[in-house]
Copies of this chain bind each other. A is one copy, B any other.
Amino acid sequence: MNGAESLVRTLLAGGVDTCFANPGTSEMHFVAALDRFPAMRSVLGLHETVVTGAADGYGRMKESPAATLLHCGPGLANGLANLHNARKARTPVVNIVGDHATYHVAFNAPLTADTPAIAAPMSHWVHTSTTAAAVAGDAAEAIRQARTTPGNVATLILPADTAWGLAEGAAEPRVIPAAPMPAAERIEQAAALLRSGKRVCLLIADRALMADGLDLAGRITARTGADLMAPTSVRRIQRGAGRVGLERVPYPVDMATARMARYDVVLRVGAASPVAFFAYPNKPSGLLRPDVIDVEVAGVEHDLIGTLVALASAVGADQTAAPVLAHAPTPPPTGALTPDTAAQAVAATLPDHAIVVDEGLTSSRAMALTTAQAPAHDWIQITGGAIGCGLPMALGASIAAPDRPVLCLQADGSGLYCLQTLWTMAREGTPVVVIIFNNRAYKILQGEMTNVGVENPGRVFADLFQLDRPEIQWTDLARGFGVPGERVATAEALTAALIRGYASRAPYLIEAML
């Protein structure tokens, strides 16, 4: 058995059976090993950003890592942006990155680059195997790292000679350490603050946003009168009918500081203290009141469900009913297509147990409110601000949960970063309905230009933030990649297109002209 085969056997033994891949010559022995193990599903991306973004979407839905297979140096570099999002989301990912054979590096061939240095900024763990015999153990450790709470991006770099050299066999899966509970005093302090009569926000994130965590948090806030919120960017929320609803910290700084100013106390369970996405002259970086009592009850590395169980008990909410939302049908909208009517069309048609992938940016801000009482669904979204994750995450989510309909809310500017994903969707037949919000602009940046004080923008504003010269025809782009679709310009047409798209049980692109 060579190192490559020991890798594939170890991945399968560790429960990693899906590999998003864009390999090159230095990974050829791994490809050959994949070829011998039909239990490993290999999914090709035409660009590494598809590969890493799909691994992110997969890991979020599966709560278990996919592998990626990436080419040395620049290949890995191409995938960094979506690894950044995965890193911020704490999605478990196992990256397998080939590299030049150990003895070949000194020759400084054209593709030679410092692969470990490229991996480091977007990985929680990086390791380079030095011998074929070490590959299996290193792969088992990469899986352990990826699976350790709250989830990590683990990058294993495998020089080509560790693939073709002789290995001893696969490695057994390693024990995943249980997530620890936070110190008991934190829970006591939180319970005391919840009973103090102060205005309290319970801010929850990560694993606490799954249905069981929301149920617990909802009972705590129902019992104590606190408000329940989530951060602006989260990896996944289970929401809709039958779930506890919650508000998110707004993205715009002024809106966020105004919203959060009402709280004397912020109790955080798996959430960081809210901060502005960007700095602006004369605006604060932190979004809470300077005099707020800001308590981390549990960090992402802790057992968040256990923390909420303990906190519910401490405030006497064990028997409290969680305030779950009822299903409230949204009537199909009529008239002009706007972000608001688009949100109504989405809410009116959302299938039961759908997965919504949100990189709609300015066009999807109305969606969360409008779909709050739609049928139960999962919502995953951009976490790290690295645009171009929507389509790949939708692909990966669909491969993780093939029986569920997926809706991808995709801003046009961001979607152009990763449009190659459409081809893999066609290839794999994933039931993903994509709405491209075609506003022919980097709308969010136009707003930011005003925010930084530019009042009369000139030619460069049009040159750098408008996408209408020439107009991009998304339906042509989709057809080029084998994905059918249509262009819609009214709310009625969007509703009809969504129904057609879901019924197709295959990828379908709707270009919504805003």
Contact = CB atoms under 8 A, between A and B. Distances in A.
A77 interface: yes
Interface in A380-438: 383-386, 388, 413, 416-417, 419-420, 423, 426-427
B104 A42 contact: no
Given A35-B454, A476-B476, A482 B470 contact: yes
A475 B286 CA distance: 49
Interface string A32-73: 101110100011101101000000000000000000000001
Contact of A80 (B31, B84, B118, B458): B118
A23 B107 contact: no
A469 B35 contact: no
B416 A104 contact: no
Given A84-B74, A464-B21, A474 B480 contact: yes
Interface stretch (A133-141, A167-175, A272-280, A492-500): A272-280
A78 interface: yes
A122 B77 contact: yes
Interface string A79-114: 011001100100000000000110110011111011
A471 interface: yes
A185 interface: no
Contacts of A111: 277-278, 384-386
Given A386-B73, A476-B476, A480-B474, A445 B278 contact: no
Given A107-B286, A464-B23, A482 B477 contact: no
A101 B282 CA distance: 12
Contacts of A457: 32, 35
This chain: copies in complex: 2
A104 B285 contact: yes
A434 to B, nearest CB: 14
A1 to B, nearest CB: 15
Interface string A307-334: 0000000000000000000000000000
Interface centre among A81, A160, A449, A482 (most CB of B within 10 A): A81
Contacts of A469: 427
Contacts of A232: 110
B277 A448 contact: no
A65 B107 CA distance: 28
B482 A472 contact: yes
A459 B35 contact: yes
Interface in A246-282: 272, 275-279, 281
B101 A113 contact: no
A416 B420 contact: yes
Given A42-B463, A118-B121, A464-B42, A107 B275 contact: yes
Interface string A149-179: 0000000000011001000000000000000
A479 B470 CA distance: 10
Given A44-B464, A426-B470, A480-B474, A445 B110 contact: no
A197 interface: no
Nearest to A470: B482
A383 B383 CA distance: 35
Nearest to A88: B110
A101 B24 CA distance: 38
B386 A74 contact: yes
Interface centre among A38, A100, A279 (most CB of B within 10 A): A279
A113 B122 CA distance: 8
Nearest to A98: B278
Contacts of A125: none
A28 interface: yes
Interface in A4-48: 21, 23-26, 28-29, 31-32, 34-36, 38, 42-44, 46-47
A416 B386 CA distance: 20
A188 to B, nearest CB: 28
Interface string A276-310: 11110100011000000000000000000000000
B47 A460 contact: no
A164 B449 CA distance: 13
Interface string A440-470: 0000110011011110011111011001011
Given A49-B78, A416-B420, 4 more contacts: A35-B459, A46-B467, A80-B80, A108-B275
26 contacts: A25-B448, A26-B278, A28-B454, A32-B457, A35-B460, A44-B463, A74-B80, A74-B85, A78-B78, A80-B118, A84-B113, A101-B278, A107-B286, A108-B275, A109-B276, A110-B233, A110-B384, A111-B385, A114-B120, A161-B279, A164-B452, A419-B420, A423-B470, A426-B470, A472-B482, A476-B480
**Which 4 A-B pairs rank lowest in CB-CB distance, beginning with the nearest?**
A470-B482, A476-B480, A74-B386, A101-B279
